[in-house]
Amino acid sequence: MRTFMTVAVAGLCLLGGLTLSVGASETKAKMEKAKGEMKADVEEMKGETKAMKEELKGNDTKAEMERAKGKIKGTGERAKGKMKELKEKATD
């Protein structure tokens, strides 16, 4: 009876630990996605700021280039965040 109780308690601890581990992975995956979104927004804002500076100088073509570069960098950061999120979900 004592052996059975020891095995039962050990099994419950193992299952409880696995459950907590899965919850932590989901949280980390969400954090990675949020960080990617935040970095993407920052890159887009940088591009927009540079574009506005160029427009003030009268360089419309360069302004559009800066805007496009910001959008491309933002898209790259979103992709990185998504990949990190999927990586965390895969390690469950």
Mean pLDDT of 25-30: 83
Mean pLDDT of 5-15: 58
The predicted-structure confidence for 32-85, as pLDDT tens digits, reads as follows 888 889 999 999 999 999 999 999 999 999 999 999 999 999 999 999 999 988
pLDDT score of 73 = 92
pLDDT score of 70 = 93
Contact of 77 with 43, CB cutoff 8 Å? yes
pLDDT score of 29 = 84
- pTM of the predicted structure, to 2 decimals: 0.66
Of 78, 57, 56, 54, residue with least CA distance to 67:
54
| 3-state SS assignment for residue 1 | coil
Run of H or E residues at 2: helix 2-57
What is the rounded distance in angstroms from the CA atom of residue 30 to the CA atom of residue 33?
5
